[in-house]
Amino acid sequence: MAYTVSKLTDYSAAALERASAELFSALGAEASAVKNEADWKLFRDRWMARKNGVLTQINDLWLKAAPKDAKREAGQQVNLIKEQVEQKVEGAKAWLRAPVLEVTHPGIEVPAAELERYAFEKVGAVDITLPGVRRPIGAEHPVIKTTNEMVRVFQKLGYSVAEGPVVETDYYNFESLNFPVNHPARDTQDTLFIAGQQGKAQRDRLLLRTHTSPVQIRTMEKMRPPLRIVIPGVVHRNDPPDASHSPMFHQIEGLAVDTNITFGDLKGTLDHAMKEFFGSSVKTSFRPSFFPFTEPSAEMFVSCFICGGSGRRGNDPCRPCKQTGWIEILGCGMVDPNVFEFVKNNGYDPRKVSGFAFGMGADRIALLKYGVDDIQLFFSGDVRFLQQWA
């Protein structure tokens, strides 16, 4: 039986909802019965004709006849009905325009792909029987994944993550870290300087940071001891790219400052961190070295986690450790008192506090961990290579 508009005697919210539900049910049934252009024209005129269409009757019998205190609610409901009717009428027309493909489900006609978007966007309808469009899900880059894993190791030890600018001044990158004016690292052979800085004082000249150590000074300027931070970030050096070098790479540094910190604290912290990251079976070894900002300084090695420290992989030599059974993993040392002098007024009096610092290359660790033999593969953007860690 065709839908007939009845005059309302009850204008409560519940009554309006019931009446509208009855109308929408009839609207959907009649829309689904449209099979050709003639059916569509009859459907359109029945619901939208100006003289006696259903919408006109709704406006006269529901809205105009509504009591004054119910006009607002009735008007909102009539507007909603009008929107639904227009969408249904236009929707039936859109489906008729689209060529029909093979029927994959009883009673469902799937429009051709080139008109699906038109039908859906124009009508606002969604066919929930069709498969959704899935966006490919990305994954962490192996270097970023390695960085995050190492940072989490130190976060568990109570370290906070600190960050700083990539474009630095000579003061933070060199001077405040106890690099002498004539230190080779300042040369253009190693450092990428920003052009047009000749008119500035030496300490104010801009450059691309060569390590994340400037963040140590910046953090000590802001925070008083005790202090424990881990610093991940990208750095730049004037290195020609090859299998083991890149002008852009990633570092992870750490700094701990407190009273009575000793080299034993440094060794215990790093030994625990390496066992947490590489596995409890690895051993650590410290060998004397030199860095301008630490004294004494050391390089830390871990027993080769690939060959188990034997130097061989079956009958073949172990290439990552060069048959030594040890892999150099980072540089470290006790913070040089000269560095504390630059932040002495913020509680870092070298006579009262001590600390240790360390730094490692995240790219190098990723190379070892994933068995990659060319650092350039990490930065080539080749999806085929990166998909191995997706």
* pLDDT at residue 263, as a whole number: 96
Residues 6+ apart with CB under 8 A from 330: 270, 299, 300, 358, 359, 360
Task: Tell me the one-letter amino acid at 245.
Answer: H
At residue 366 the predicted structure's pLDDT band, cuts being 50, 70 and 90, is very high
Question: How high does pLDDT run on average in the chain?
Answer: 86
Average pLDDT over residues 267-289: 94
Q: Which residues pair with 231 in a beta bridge?
A: 253
Report yes or no: 59 and 47 within 8 Å, Cβ to Cβ: no
Structure token pair of residue 299: 């390089």
Instruction: Note the pLDDT tens digit of each residue in 71-104.
Output: 888 888 888 888 888 888 888 876 555 444 444 4
User: What is the number of other CB atoms lying within 10 angstroms of the CB of residue 133?
Assistant: 5
Specify the DSSP element, H or E, that contains 26.
helix 13-32
Claim: this prediction has a pTM higher than 0.85: no
Instruction: Note the pLDDT tens digit of each residue in 150-199.
Output: 999 999 999 999 999 999 999 999 999 998 888 777 776 688 999 998 88
DSSP-derived secondary structure for 188-213: TTT--BPSS-TTS-GGG-EEE-SSST
Q: Which of 8-22, 265-279, 351-365 has the lowest mean pLDDT?
A: 8-22
At residue 221 the predicted structure's pLDDT band, cuts being 50, 70 and 90, is very high
Q: Which residues pair with 284 in a beta bridge?
A: 302
